Amino acid sequence: KAGVTQTPRYLIKTRGQQVTLSCSPISGHRSVSWYQQTPGQGLQFLFEYFSETQRNKGNFPGRFSGRQFSNSRSEMNVSTLELGDSALYLCASSSGQGSGNTIYFGEGSWLTVV
Amino acid sequence: AQSVTQLGSHVSVSEGALVLLRCNYSSSVPPYLFWYVQYPNQGLQLLLKYTSAATLVKGINGFEAEFKKSETSFHLTKPSAHMSDAAEYFCAVSDQDTGGFKTIFGAGTRLFVKA
């Protein structure tokens, strides 16, 4: 079974630009979560989607948005990039039903904002 | 909201020595607890998961963790460290709020293994 796939793996953007990151979950998984990882803040929860609906959202500004498609693939978008948005963005998938779901991570997308 | 606290941002052990990474949780209900490992330039990989079926949970790569309700702890151990264990380790808890479920991570503990 293929794991969680994230694209692109590495990208460099200029301050003020926008970026879109993509995530394909494990086959059969309907939940996709996004996390931001930085050395100073650790792993911060961005949002979670289940069956195309955002079920949960972390404490990030509105510049951070996401969506999920009918095939469970998900994208996240960051607009008006700031230097502080430089981070590893991790996508994770799970079945999404019931408590205690195990989430499985992709390799991440490294974003550098210059 | 539930949370986890990892004691020690860095732990250094000699090869062959015991590995002990500490995690305490805060939960008003029986928690679902996890340990993940992250190798350089990679995503997080599940090591083990506690689901209340057994207090001692065995994971991959020789790691295990013991759930102690009285101490609200879920420490990760390995009897003998190997150089390949050098990585960052994250304790996590599954949390539920009005919006649904999400996994909350501790700050992480970086494990160094000395030859």
Instruction: Give the pLDDT confidence score for residue B99 in this predicted structure.
Output: 65
Distance between CA atoms of residues B77 and B65, nearest Å? 6
CA-based radius of gyration for chain B: 14
Interior CA angle at A22 toward B90 and A11, to 5°?
A: 80
Question: Which of B33, B17, B9 lies closest to B77, judged by CA?
Answer: B17
Instruction: Give the pLDDT confidence score for residue B29 in this predicted structure.
Output: 72
The answer to whether the peptide bond before residue B30 is cis (omega within 30 degrees of 0) is no
Side chain identity, residue A63: R
CA distance B31 to chain A (A): 8
For B16-48, what is each residue's pLDDT tens digit? 999 999 999 987 677 889 999 999 888 999 999
Q: Is B104 on the interface with A (CB under 8 A)?
A: yes
Name the residue facing B102 among A56, A90, A102 (closest C-beta). A56
Instruction: Give the pLDDT confidence score for residue A77 in this predicted structure.
Output: 98
Percent over 70 (pLDDT), chain B:
96
For A9-64, what is each residue's pLDDT tens digit? 999 999 999 999 999 999 999 999 999 999 888 899 999 999 999 988 999 999 99
Residue B108 carries which DSSP code? -
